[in-house]
Structure 1
Amino acid sequence: MNTVVISSIGAVFMAIMVMFVRLKAAKKPTNARKIILPPFFMATGALMYVVPKFRLNGWEIVEAVVVGALFSIFLIKTSKFEIRDNDIYLKRSKAFIFILVGLLVIRIALKSVLSSTIDPFQLSGMFFLLAFSMLLPWRIAMYVDYKKLYRELHLTKK
Structure 2
Amino acid sequence: MFWIISSTVVAACMATVMIFVRLRAAKKPASVKKIILPPLFMSTGAFMFLFPVFRVGWGQVAEAVLVGVIFSIFLIRTSKFEVREENIYLKPSKAFVFILFGLLILRIILKLIIGQTIAFGEMSGMFFLLAFGMIFTWRLAMLRQYLQLEKTL
Task: Sort the TM-score into its range (normalised by shorter chain).
Answer: over 0.9
Superposed CA offset, 1:47-78 (max 9, x none): 00000111111221111011001001111010
Provide the C-alpha distance between the structure 1 equivalents of 2:42 and 2:62, rounded to a whole number of angstroms. 19
Q: Residue 53 of structure 1 corresponds to which residue in structure 2?
A: 53
1:55-70 paired onto structure 2 within 5 Å: 55-70=55-70
1:83-122 paired onto structure 2 within 5 Å: 83-122=83-122
Provide the C-alpha distance between the structure 2 equivalents of 1:50 and 1:3, rounded to a whole number of angstroms. 20
Provide the secondary structure at the position in 2 that maps to 1:116. Answer: coil
Superposed CA offset, 1:2-27 (max 9, x none): 11110010000000000000000001
Q: Residue 75 of structure 1 corresponds to which residue in structure 2?
A: 75
Q: Structure 1 length normalisation: TM-score?
A: 0.95
1:6-17 paired onto structure 2 within 5 Å: 6-17=6-17
Superposed CA offset, 1:94-116 (max 9, x none): 11111000000001111111111
Provide the C-alpha distance between the structure 2 equivalents of 1:104 and 1:141, rounded to a whole number of angstroms. 21
Provide the C-alpha distance between the structure 1 equivalents of 2:93 and 2:110, rounded to a whole number of angstroms. 26
Q: Residue 156 of structure 1 corresponds to which residue in structure 2?
A: none
| Total equivalences in the alignment | 153
- Given residue 136 of structure 1, which amino acid in structure 2 is its aligned partner? F
Shift >2 Å, 4+ stretches:
none
What is the RMSD of the two structures over their aligned residues, measured on CA atoms?
A: 0.8
Provide the C-alpha distance between the structure 1 equivalents of 2:113 and 2:144, rounded to a whole number of angstroms. 36
Provide the C-alpha distance between the structure 1 equivalents of 2:62 and 2:146, rounded to a whole number of angstroms. 29
Shift of 1:141: 0.5
Provide the C-alpha distance between the structure 2 equivalents of 1:84 and 1:143, rounded to a whole number of angstroms. 18
Q: Residue 149 of structure 1 corresponds to which residue in structure 2?
A: 149
- Given residue 148 of structure 1, which amino acid in structure 2 is its aligned partner? Q
For structure 2, the residue ranges without an aligned partner over 5 or more in a row are none
Q: Between Structure 1 and Structure 2, whose CA radius of gyration is higher? A: 1
For structure 1, the residue ranges without an aligned partner over 5 or more in a row are 154-158
- Given residue 130 of structure 2, which amino acid in structure 1 is its aligned partner? L
